[in-house]
Amino acid sequence: MSELNKFPTIFTSSQFKKSIDKNEIDTITSSLAHTLNQRYAGEELVLIGVLKGSLTFLSDLAKKLKDIKVYVDFVKLEAVGRDKENNGTIIVKKDISTNILDRNVLIVEEVIDTGRALEFLYTRIKQSNPRNIEIITLFDKPYKRAVNLKANYIGKQLDDQFIVGYGLDLEDYGRNLCDIYCLEFPN
């Protein structure tokens, strides 16, 4: 099978099934934005997206923020040397360029599982002395957590399932899908 045909546009197959449709994602995103609109009304807010997965969620969320002066920046992290016995090292592949000193910062994640890289990022950003730092995630998998970290805003908790779509990928495929698909028979 050609790499281009590996993951069709509709992404339904015997291996994947639609789990969360775009309307539910939009409802979740709108609800999170409503909460943020109340929390940060009349203030500045720096959104820091964790690349690449958070791009779609951050974009949709930012469009729904009203009466907030929004700044957007991105960070890209990579875990190297990680295996079953070793947590590895988190390295910064792309850092933020926005001054966050004494500013409200919101780290935007699409899904939190182990939380290791996010804990690293949170600690690193906190050292820059923002006024406030919070975490928002579209999806949370708390049963996978390897560190003591909790998001301030959670769209939806998920069961133990591998998901693709809406920014989430499988070998860099599927990020452009509007819906979320889960692996039908995980191994």
Q: Is the peptide bond before 156 cis (omega within 30 degrees of 0)?
A: no
Question: What DSSP string describes 111-168?
Answer: EESS-HHHHHHHHHHHTT--SEEEEEEEEE-GGG--SS---SEEEEE--S--EEBTTB
Q: Which of 113, 159, 172, 179 is catalytic?
A: 113
Helices (H) and strands (E) in the chain, counts: 3, 9
> How many angstroms separate the CA atoms of 48 and 37, rounded?
17
172 catalytically annotated:
no
Q: Which two tokens stand for residue 43?
A: 């203030």
Q: Which residues contact 187 (CB under 8 A, 6 or more apart)?
A: none
Write the single-letter amino acid at 147: V
Q: Which residues pair with 51 in a beta bridge?
A: 76
**What b/e readout covers 63-85, taking b as 16+ CB neighbours within 10 angstroms?**
eebeebebbebbbebeeeeeeee
Q: Which residues are catalytic?
A: 113
